Each structure stands twice: as structure tokens, then as C-alpha cells.
Amino acid sequence: MDRKKVMFTGGGGAAAEAIRRLWADRYDLYFADADVGAIDASIPESARVAIPFARDPSFVPTMIETVRRLDIDVLVPGVDEELSPLAEARDAFAPCLVLGPPADFVAAHLDKRVSMDLLHRAGLTAPQTVPLSAATSLSAPFVAKPRSGRGSRGVAVLATADHIPAYLTLNGFAAENVIAQERIVGQEFTVFVAVDAAGVLRAVAPVKVLIKRGITIAAEIDPDPVVIDYVKRFHAAYPTPGIYNVQLMLRDGVAYPFEINPRVSTTFCLVIATGYDPIADFARTDERPMFVPRQRHTLRRNWFNNIGVQ
């Protein structure tokens, strides 16, 4: 039986080399990035794929041509800007599976204000989130962040609403594109969620964040029951096939998601280190218990300097 070919976008990200180490014996892996030079040197050149930026009009046609040329079976998007165009064009990629949520779920949760409104509408706990112009309705300090964005870019804790003009000037943002969010201080979790093609919740893997610098630097698996229960209730309210990530704070036994990311996160490598395989699980139809990792796998990222001669 031929091994499946799997391509990850955002291949220059922190998790790529670990994914290859963990899955090299399971899948034929490819890593795509608009900056192909950012892909880890441990990944063979034959597995590195240059693609356009998502904003380029040629992005979707090029991605379709690429998956057909390489005979890719599963495409795993990992960059926010790519999610909507890939989700909207998923039928054109067939028979290649685009392993992400459908376009409506992606659009809703890429907009952080809409995303938080949906949580409140379902009666789920979430930080109070308002337009930046209404920031004075929140207790200070509060969090200012773009309505869309990733990697903590433009996210800042403002001590008072008087700091808003300086924040906007420093980041070059228009006020209407920024939200203010209640600041929840607690233990941060980044939670991997897998749902099969029929909409059955197959896996919840809570990862406790220990050190974060834009991306998670150190973390450990922690199957906290409050976190798992929250994801189950979120899924019951908004069931969707695919894989996604929930970022939340746990404070006084209550979960407060501050972002729902409709893609894999950089801690995906820690999840697959547990032995869980969301690609194999997506097409399963058998009844079995939802996967929750029990061993406390840990992650610690360090720098490695690749020095060469041109």
C-alpha cells in the first residue's frame, strides 16, 4: 500500500523539523513556504516547496497545481492568511483533502471580535471583547489586539485608554481594525482539537504553556478536565469537521478562551508525539472513546544556527 503524501504550509515554522522526525516513517512529508529558505535545514531540499504569499492572486492556482504535481493526499494549512482561500477552494483540490475547518468556521474565527461574540452567544465563558473605541467599558489594564492576526503581532496590554493613540501610532493600525479585550490572568493553554469528517469529536489535547515568546517555547501536555469539558461544550455549540486550536486562560477553575485558531498551532508536534494521528482519524467511522493524552509529554525549543558558505 502506498504511503500517503502530506504537505504542511507554513513550513518555515518552528514545528516543521519535529513533525518530520516524528512522522518520517509514517508519511511522505512536504513543507511549503513563501520563504523556502526559512524551512529547517534538516528537511531535504526535495521536500521543501516554494509557494506564493496568500495575498498573491496566483496563490490558489499554484497550490492546486502543486498538490497535483506532487500527488499530495492531504494538505494541512498552517498560516492564517492562507486559511480562507484554501477553505473556499477545497473542492478544487480533490482528491487531495484540505485538513481544516470549512470556510464559514474559518471566516468567523479569524475575526477575533466575531469569534468572541459567538462564544458569548452560546453561553460560554470568554473575555469581554469590545471595539477599541469602547475600551473604557473594560477594567484597566486591558488587552489591545488586531481583529485579525497571528503570532501575538500587535498584541499589547494597555494600562489605560489614554495609551490607545500611542499604540495605534506605534503599530500603524486603524482603530476600527482593533479590539479591546478583558485581561484574564491565569494559566495559559493551547488546545489541539480534532473532529472527523462526520463531525464527531475525536481528540482534545490540552497543552499547558510554560514559556511563550510570540510562539510557545516551553510547554507540557496537561489533560485538565476543565479545559476538556470546555472544548466539548464549544464543539456541541459549533460542531465542525477538521482540526483547530483553542487558546485559553484557566483562572479559578474557569476556562476563558481568548482566541479560536482554525488551523494547527506550533505545538502540533507535541500532540503527534503522543502517538495521535488526526489524518488517520479524520476518515474513521468506528465508535471509540475520544482521544485525550495521558502522558505528560514536554516541549522545549532551542535555537540552532545553520552556517554555510555560498
What CATH number does domain 5-99 carry, 3.40.50.280, 3.30.460.10, 3.40.50.2300, 3.40.50.20? 3.40.50.20
- Going by C-alpha positions, the residue among 114, 112, 74 that lies closest to residue 94 is 74
| pLDDT at 268 (0 to 100) | 95
Mean pLDDT of the chain: 95
Q: Are 78 and 7 in contact (CB under 8 A)?
A: no
* Run of H or E including 66: helix 59-69
Whether the per-residue pLDDT at 144 is higher than 80: the answer is yes
Percent of the chain's residues with pLDDT above 70: 99
User: pLDDT-based confidence at 154, cuts 50/70/90?
Assistant: confident
| pLDDT at 224 (0 to 100) | 97
E strands, the chain, are: 5-9, 28-33, 48-50, 74-76, 97-98, 129-131, 142-146, 156-158, 178-182, 187-195, 201-213, 215-221, 242-251, 254-261, 298-300
Length of the chain: 310
CATH top class, domain 128-182: alpha beta
Whether the per-residue pLDDT at 234 is higher than 90: the answer is yes
Mean pLDDT value across residues 143-169: 90
- Location of C-alpha cell 526559512: 38
CB atoms inside a 10 Å sphere around CB 2: 7
Whether the per-residue pLDDT at 205 is higher than 80: the answer is yes
Domain with CATH 3.40.50.20 in the chain: 5-99
Range with the lowest mean pLDDT among 66-70, 108-112, 212-216, 270-274?
Answer: 212-216
Do you find a cis peptide bond into 95, omega within 30 degrees of 0?
yes
Domain with CATH 3.30.470.20 in the chain: 185-300
Mean pLDDT value across residues 59-88: 97
Bridge partners for 272 per DSSP = none
What confidence tens digit (pLDDT) does each residue in 254-288 have? 999 999 999 999 999 999 999 999 999 998 888 88
- Location of C-alpha cell 515568546: 213
CA dist 110 → 21, 25, 28, 168, 282 (Å) = 30, 34, 30, 21, 23
What confidence tens digit (pLDDT) does each residue in 113-143 have? 999 999 999 999 999 999 999 999 999 999 9
User: pLDDT-based confidence at 151, cuts 50/70/90?
Assistant: low
What confidence tens digit (pLDDT) does each residue in 286-301 have? 888 999 999 999 999 9
- CA–CA gap between residue 306 and residue 113 (Å, rounded): 40
| pLDDT at 1 (0 to 100) | 53
| pLDDT at 153 (0 to 100) | 82
DSSP conformational letter for 206: E
Mean pLDDT value across residues 34-44: 94
User: pLDDT-based confidence at 177, cuts 50/70/90?
Assistant: very high
Q: With 0-12 CB in 10 A as exposed, 13-18 as middle and 19+ as buried, what is 85? A: middle
Which CATH number does 185-300 carry?
3.30.470.20
Q: Are 133 and 168 in contact (CB under 8 A)?
A: no
